[in-house]
Structures are given as C-alpha cells and as structure tokens.
Amino acid sequence: MKKIYFYNNEFPNFCNCYDNSVRQNIFVRIMQSTSKLFAIITGLLLLSVTVNAQSILNGMVSDIDDGNPLIGATIKLTSLTDTTEWQGTVTDLDGKFEFRKLKEGPYKIIVNYIGYIPIEREVYTNNTDRQLGLISLSKKATTLKDVNIVENQVRVIQKTDTSEYNANAFKTNKDATTEDLVTKMPGITSEGGVIKAQGEEVKKVLIDGKEFFGDDAALALKNLPSEVVDRVQVFDRMNDQSSFTGFDDGNSQKAMNIVTKNGANNLFGKVYAGYGYLNDSRYSVGGNINWFKDNRRISAIGMSNNVNQQNFSSQDLIGLTGATQRGGGRPRAGRTGGIGNSASNNFMVGQQEGNSTTHSAGVNYSDIWGKRNNVKVTGNYFFNLINNTNSTELNRNYLNTSDSSTTYRETNNTHSRNMNHRISWRLEYVIDSMNTLIFTPKFNYQDNSQTNVIDGQNTFPEGVLLSRTQSNYKSDYSGYNSSGDLLYQHNFKRLYRTISVNVGTTINNKFGSSTQNARNSFQNLNDSSMLDQQSDIANTSYKINGNVTYTEPAGKSGMVQLSYEPSHTWNKADKETFNRDSASSDYSLRDTFLSNKFDNNYMTHRGNASYRVKSEQFNITIGLSGQYALLTGNSIFPYVYSTSRSFYNLLPTATFNYKFKDKSNFRVIYRTSTNAPSISQLQNVIDNSNPLLLSTGNPDLKQSYNHFIMARYGYTNTKKGQTFFAFTSANYTQNYIGNSTIIATEDTLLNDEVLLRTGSQLKQPININSSLNINSFFTYGLPINKIKSSLNLNAGFTFAGTPGFINNEKNLSKTYGINGGLVLSSNISEKIDFTIGYNANYNIVKNTLQINSDNNYFIHNANVKFNWEFWKGFVFNTGLQNTLYTGVSSGFNQNIFLWNAALGYKFLKDQSLDVRLSVNDILNQNNGISRNITETYIEDTKTEVLKRYLLLTITYTFKQSTASGKKR
C-alpha cells in the first residue's frame, strides 16, 4: 500500500497517509459498518422500550414580592421511605426545575436560595406526573448593615459546573460598575478590556438570563451599575440545540449571568459631560438609561469623546482587520502595550494607542410576549463611528539562518475611519408543551477607510541597507454580514425522545478599492522604481447549513443521539489591479500578476452518533462523527484551471463532568474538528500594500485537523470563603496552515513569473505537519478578615509551538510563558475602596533555525486603585500603574508609571449630582509597547498613545424605586 505525503508534512495522520482511492474505500466501509451498527442499536432500543409510566415532578421558584424567577435556586428531593436516596438540582434561567423517573412514594422537597427563607414540603408521587406549580420564597428579614456580617457571608457556591458569586460579599464604591464588582471576585480578571473567568474569555453576558447587547461582554459590564447586582453566575453556555437535547458537543462558551436584585431600581441610569484642555481640547459626554420591569428589560446607551474611551466588540471590525497588510500582513489596528495581545482586542474598551474620537449608541430590548407568555424576545442595535490617528515604530528580526538574517524597521503614520451598524434578534416561540421554534437573525454593516504613510527598510545585521520603501497607501472598504438560524424542537410523549431540525444561512460581502503610490529602492538604493496603482476587490461568500438530531432514551440513565449535518459554502473573490497610464493619467493598464478571479466551494456531510449517561454525581458523553468534505477551486483569471480535493475524517468527542459532593466539580472536554482554508488564503494573487513585504495565497491548501482537550476543576469552601480553580487546555493541529516566507538576498525569479527584488520578501500560506498550544490558569481566593479584604492569588503557564518555513528551511518557534500575580481588594465599606494588584510574566523564546535569536524577556504590571469618600460628599480617587519591560529590543525597554487622579464633590441630598476634576497621566509617561512573536520573526513596536490631559466632568445618576415610584 503506497503512502503519499502532503507538501511539507513530515508526520501524516490517519486521514492523509494513503492514496485517494484506498482512503475512500476504507472510509466508505467504515461508514457502512457504522450505519448498520446505528440501525441495529436503534432497533434494539426501540424494541426494548418499556411501557411503564414515568413519574415526573416539576415546578418553578420565584420571589414572593415581584414574582421574578429565582435562577440557580437549589432543590433537594429526599425519599421519606429511605432517606439515603436523594437527588438534587438547580433552577434554570426561567426559575424552573424538574425531577424524572421517580419511584412511587412520599418525598420531602427543600428549596434554598441565598438571602431567602428556605421552604420544605412533603409530596407524594405515583405513576402520573406531578406539577408543584409556583413556589414563592420570601427574603430574610435580617439586613446587612453591619460590616462585620459581610465577612461571614457566603462568597461563592459551586453548583455542578456553575460558580455562583454573592455580590453582597464584595464591597464597591457607589459609582462602581459591574465590571469593577466582578473583577474583585476570585478567578475573574480584566485583561486589555477582555473579561476572563477561570482563565477563559467570557463570550456572553446575560442579565437575568436574557441576552444583553449580543456578544459584547465588556459593553454589558461597563454600563450596568454594581449596586443592582444580587449574584453573578459563571457557567458554560451550550447552544440552543445542545441545551435542548442535553448532549454537550464541547463547543460551549464561557458565559456570565448577572442576577439583579428583585424589586430594586427598575428605572436607573446616568448622564455625564466633561471638558478639559492641556495642549489640546478634550471632551467626553454620554450616558445610559435602564428600565427593568417584570419581564421587560430596556437599556439605551450613548457616548461621544476624544479621550479614547470605546465600546467595541470583535464583530465591529470586519474592515478594520485584514483590510490591508502593512508590515507583512499583521493588521496595525493598535495595541495597549501588553505583550502578546491580539490586534482586535485593542478595540474592545479603554485606553487606546493614538488619538481617537468615538461616537457610539445602542439599545437593548428583551421581553415576553403573547397571551400565554409563550414568546421570548431579545434584540439589540449598536452603532460605532471612530476616527483614529496614530504613529508606530516597528523593529522586526527575521529568524532565517544567521548568515542571511535580516532586520526590518518601519515607521507608519495612520489615519482611519470606521463605522459599524450591528443588529441581532432572538425570538423563541413555545408553540405548546411539545413544540418550540427559535429564530436568531443577525446583520452587521461596516464602512472603513484608512491612509497609511510607511517608511520601511530591510538591513543585514551589520547595518547594510538592502531595500527601502516610501509608500502612501489608501483604502476604502465596505462590507456586510447577514445570518439567520431557524430551529424547530419537538418532544415526544416518550421521555427523552426528541427530534430537532435547524436550518441556517450566512451571507458575507466585502467590496472596495485601494491606491498605492510608492518609491522602492534596492541594492544599496542604487536601483529604484516608482509604483502607482489602483486595486478593486469584490469578495462574496454564501453558506447554507442544516442539522437534524434525534435522541432516544437507553436504559435507566442513558440516552443515544443520532444526527446528520450538511453544509455548503460558495466563495467568490475578484481583485483587479491597474497601473497608471502616464499618457492618459488614468488607471487603465491591468497588472496581471496582481489581478485574480477565483471561485471556491466547500461542502461537508457529517453523521454523528453519541451516547450519554448521567447520574447525580457524573455526566459522561461520548460521540463519533464521520465527515466527508469536498474542497474545489476554479481560477478564472489570469489563468484558467480547477482544483478538487476530498477529505474523509473521523471526529471523536467526549465530555466528562463529576461532582464531588457540594464543594467541588471536575470537568474534561475533548473534541476534534476540521478547518477549511479561507478564500483569502486560497486566492493566488499578490498583495503589495507594502512593496517590501509581499503576500499571496495558495490554491493547493488542504484543511487542517484539530484536537482540543480541556480540564477544569473548581472547589469552594463556603464556611471559610475559600475558592480554588484550575484550568488547563491544549490544542494540537495536524495539517496546520502556517506560512512560508522567501526573503531575497539577491534578485530572485519565483516560479518563472514573479521577480522578488533584493531585500524584499514574499509570504505564502502552506500546510505544515503540526502545531501545539498549551494554556493553564490557577487561582486561589480567600478572605483576609483582619483587614476586611479579599486576596486572590493566580498563576499560569503557556506554551506556543508554531512551525514555519523561511527560505525553504523549517523553523519551529517555541515560546514558554510563566505568569503569576495577586489581587488584594478591600471589603471595608462603600466609602473606602482599594485594590492592589501585581502580575508578572516571564517568557522564554527559542527557535530551531536561528538559536542566536533566542531570548528571554520579562514584563510586570503593578497597580494600586484607591477610592475614598472622606468628608460630606467629597470623593478622592487615584490609580497608579507601573509597567516594566526588559529583554526586548534596544530602545523598547521601558519602565513606565501611569498615574491618574480625581477629586469630586457629590451634591443634592441623595448625592446624585457629581462634579469631578480628573487628571490623566500626571507624570506624562504613558507609552504603548508590545512584542509579537511568530514562526518567522520577533517584533517589537512602540505606538503613539494619549498622554496627559485634564477633564472636568459633571455626572447625574438617577434611580426610581419600584415601591414608591419616586425618584431618589
């Protein structure tokens, strides 16, 4: 049997080690055998179904005052005939709970919820279902005015895989946001505007179980005051399909549910306006209003400023990232100074590089409609407009062999304008007790324009100049993304027997043009040329996918799931580049090397069989999918040719969840997946937006095969207030899509077509054998009662092994990262609030191709925040942050102190009017530094940031009591 190896694949996996015909025969036989096995198993299950009636006990828990559902209430059911037999559960996002497969006899049910009086009842079950209806709990009469009581409050409770934090156990000042509150909780951090919980990024924030501004977690937390929060729940949120069937597909997202205080401030918000001047005028205006009444939630926000405060999510960056490839393809979208941050993260929230003027507005709505309250609706609209100017200095050392190593230096002055509209809805229609329909449409539109003035040069280590470009690049792109999923769910009378059908569509469109005017010099500047071009692009993508899933009970505690999932994606890419005609001054001379028309189709068919077994202590799911994929490509211009490749994959998945009594939980997830190359990676056209750093696609790319494994352990000791979380994950990719970079030390003709001039380079994506990434996070939290504070300790380890090729030689870039830190936050009172934090990162960089480029670098961040209401409404707050960089390039090592301070006074009886004078960057030391490590280079950048300024701000906070209906 003949083995064939893919290009640059040294260790072929199961799916690519045999020729096409043999692989196809093997796969077809496996699928045929598997189909027969599925049919036999399903038939046996159907034949073995008993007709004994199943006893179900269900109900709903709510607040006795306002009727709002209580999410996460604990329910314990104990048999009175045998007290050793008991089971427990928690209420869902609607306050509902359910027990199934109960034996006939008497039971005692106990309902518990933090801050409420427990309820006990005796119930009797027989062979018919029993509905307990609404169980209403009353709040405990004890008020928590004495600070000493707070020390003994329950801080965290572990409920299966949900961590629930008691907001009353963490003190913040009156002006604090929910973000200020949650970052005091053990295991929750804010890193560069990204909220992380137990080492994982929080992808979605819910308010009382309802979506809030789509997937923008930071936006939700920054615009909700901390005083309305009762509890914070952190959990793994499955999609609608998995939630319905109970089969965790391993693709859950880390989510946070903010449970608001029942009956508290159903109308609240604030408005503010500020103006200042120091070297230049600065302003900031904005506000938010929230109306929470019964099931209805309406929130509106708006802001306009030129002090770099932003509320963006990654959805708002369609044209901003990837629109151009300055500096060799890394989007120069901006960095906040943290080493290793991705470019898109810097448009989330907070201090940005450069100078930005931002205008944004949004509205979020959720409610329950219908006479039967059977239609749940959530929707939001968000608008962004940002103008940014920025300058960047870059130093990049390439990892080619020591005798040909080169350094690229660049200065880049950028001006960009980005506008975005984003709309999303979710409508859940409960037709009856057996049928549900869910529709989730989304639409994003973006318009982006930018100008880049680049001065870049390549040199040998001894300073010999190889090449230089002085380029003026302008682009104007627009794009939209539209998607919609329609999911139908049906429950049969037989318990756990379900069927669901989902149909989804996605449309992506991006179009626009760019102009390039550059002077390029080569070979010690003796050879120079002018470039004057215009390029037009039109990229379109259509996708339709479906899913049919059937579940069937198997045994006393098991379930079987069978599913079929087809998907088809059509891509069209069209790029035309024209040189200026000196005679007519028009862009009419087509450049065939920089023009290309390319179509690409990607089709998959996947069948899956899974088995789940569940008990009170553990939940195990195992599954196996067989997938057939067909990737085709058609080049229309400048050459006509077609490519077609088929792939056959087996994709196993497994999840394991174990509950150790009531204090701890252990969870393991393993999943596999495939990733098809994008249209930009496949399109064989040269991008010369930086004439020294060219890039092109590769129509011969194959899909990658990914293995992901994650383990997480959580422990809480409610009596002592101690928490411990451990998280580790590994991602191993076969057929990894990496980069091959050709750096020309002399004029080189590539493929008898492309002349690569001395000192320039060409980057192309290729398949490489494998890559490996490991990430771990550990945190331990405990109260320090003597100083009325909380201490959170954290540590972690990361590893990134990324392969690449430089001048046809393989390099494996290995980066080891060790980090640790602590956060000490006060729990004294609302008048005195402080936070002390420290975090250190030590990184070890090793490369197999050029070991003299190996280096170790260190970064630490120490910060202190202090807020003090010291006398009759006077408020003083300050923050001091020290950032230290060592081991980076010469001129980029920094020791920066960023000091901000403000003094304010609160007017009116309820102190709702606040006047505050603030100073940003008192020492005028703010700087933006970052390090970026890839498989082909190590790069340090220094960017422009907003420095010292004064701002006088007036803020009015309003609240309306539910009971009185009066403002206070």
- What CA–CA distance (Å, rounded) separates 509 from 480? 5
Is the per-residue pLDDT at 34 higher than 50?
Answer: no
What integer pLDDT is reported at residue 46 of this predicted model?
Answer: 43
What integer pLDDT is reported at residue 466 of this predicted model?
Answer: 83
Grade residue 602 by pLDDT with cuts at 50, 70 and 90. Answer: very high
The two three-digit tokens of residue 535, written as one number: 């390029």
- The average pLDDT across 121-127 equals 80
Is the per-residue pLDDT at 4 higher than 60?
Answer: no
Q: Which of 27-31, 170-174, 421-425, 487-491 has the lowest mean pLDDT?
A: 27-31
Q: What beta strand segments (E) does 316-374 contain?
A: 355-369
Grade residue 334 by pLDDT with cuts at 50, 70 and 90. Answer: very low
Is the per-residue pLDDT at 27 higher than 90?
Answer: no
Q: Determine how many CB atoms are found less than 10 A away from the CB of residue 261.
A: 18
What integer pLDDT is reported at residue 66 of this predicted model?
Answer: 63
Is the per-residue pLDDT at 827 higher than 90?
Answer: no
Residue 526 DSSP one-character state? T
Chain-centre distance of CA 809, in angstroms? 34
The two three-digit tokens of residue 914, written as one number: 């606040």
The two three-digit tokens of residue 689, written as one number: 């937006």
Grade residue 8 by pLDDT with cuts at 50, 70 and 90. Answer: very low
Is the per-residue pLDDT at 211 higher than 90?
Answer: no
Of these ranges, 88-102, 298-312, 787-801, 930-944, the one predicted with the greatest mean pLDDT is 787-801
- What CA–CA distance (Å, rounded) separates 205 from 192? 18
What integer pLDDT is reported at residue 313 of this predicted model?
Answer: 52
Of these ranges, 25-34, 223-232, 748-757, the one predicted with the greatest mean pLDDT is 223-232
Q: Which of 16-20, 319-323, 356-360, 500-504 has the lowest mean pLDDT?
A: 319-323
Residue written as token pair 């960047």: 392
- The average pLDDT across 487-499 equals 90
293 or 421, higher pLDDT? 421
Separation in Å, CA 207 to CA 180, 210, 214, 425, 564: 16, 5, 11, 15, 34
What integer pLDDT is reported at residue 45 of this predicted model?
Answer: 41
Q: What is the dihedral of CA 602, 603, 608, 614, to 10 degrees?
A: 40
Separation in Å, CA 829 to CA 74, 591, 784, 785: 30, 69, 15, 13
- What CA–CA distance (Å, rounded) separates 409 from 458? 7
Grade residue 919 by pLDDT with cuts at 50, 70 and 90. Answer: very high
What integer pLDDT is reported at residue 312 of this predicted model?
Answer: 52
Q: Determine how many CB atoms are found less than 10 A away from the CB of residue 586.
A: 11
- What CA–CA distance (Å, rounded) separates 214 from 205? 8
Residue written as token pair 């020591």: 402
- The average pLDDT across 198-219 equals 78
From the list 82, 87, 25, 6, the residue with the least C-alpha distance to 617 is 87
- What CA–CA distance (Å, rounded) separates 142 from 292? 26
- What CA–CA distance (Å, rounded) separates 276 from 650? 62
- The average pLDDT across 863-892 equals 88
Q: Convert the pLDDT of each residue in 948-960 to its tens digit.
A: 899 999 999 988 7
Q: Convert the pLDDT of each residue in 375-411 to its tens digit.
A: 999 999 999 999 999 999 999 888 876 566 788 999 9
What integer pLDDT is reported at residue 16 of this predicted model?
Answer: 40
Is the per-residue pLDDT at 896 higher than 90?
Answer: no
- The average pLDDT across 592-612 equals 92
For residue 29, give the 3-state DSSP assignment: helix
Q: Is the peptide bond before 691 cis (omega within 30 degrees of 0)?
A: no
855 or 515, higher pLDDT? 515
372 or 152, higher pLDDT? 372
Separation in Å, CA 946 to CA 279, 305, 580, 703: 11, 13, 39, 43
41 or 414, higher pLDDT? 414
Q: Convert the pLDDT of each residue in 795-819 to its tens digit.
A: 999 999 999 998 888 999 999 999 9
The two three-digit tokens of residue 249, written as one number: 């597909």
| Identity at 896, one-letter amino acid code | I
C-beta of residue 311 within 8 angstroms of C-beta of residue 349: yes
- The average pLDDT across 653-678 equals 88
Is the per-residue pLDDT at 341 higher than 50?
Answer: no
C-beta of residue 211 within 8 angstroms of C-beta of residue 366: yes
- What CA–CA distance (Å, rounded) separates 740 from 936? 8
C-beta of residue 179 within 8 angstroms of C-beta of residue 222: yes
Is the per-residue pLDDT at 730 higher than 50?
Answer: yes
Number of residues assigned to the chain? 968
- The average pLDDT across 312-332 equals 38
DSSP string spanning 305-321? ESSS--B--GGG-TTTS
80: left (phi over 0), alpha (psi -120 to 50) or beta: alpha
Residue written as token pair 């005052």: 65
Is the per-residue pLDDT at 701 higher than 80?
Answer: yes
Query: E strand or H helix at 43, and its extent?
Result: helix 20-47
Contacts of 545 (CB under 8 A, 6+ apart): 503, 504, 505, 565, 566, 567, 568
Percent pLDDT > 90 in the chain is 39
Is the sign of the CA dihedral 8, 13, 18, 23 positive or negative? negative
- What CA–CA distance (Å, rounded) separates 167 from 138? 19
β-pair type (693-695, 761-784): parallel
Separation in Å, CA 193 to CA 421, 452, 706, 940: 21, 26, 28, 21
The two three-digit tokens of residue 655, written as one number: 């999840």
Q: What is the pTM of this model?
A: 0.76
- The average pLDDT across 82-96 equals 75
Q: Which of 275-289, 306-320, 873-887, 905-919 has the lowest mean pLDDT?
A: 306-320
Average pLDDT, the chain: 81
DSSP string spanning 529-551? EEEEEEEEEEEEEEEEEEEEEEE
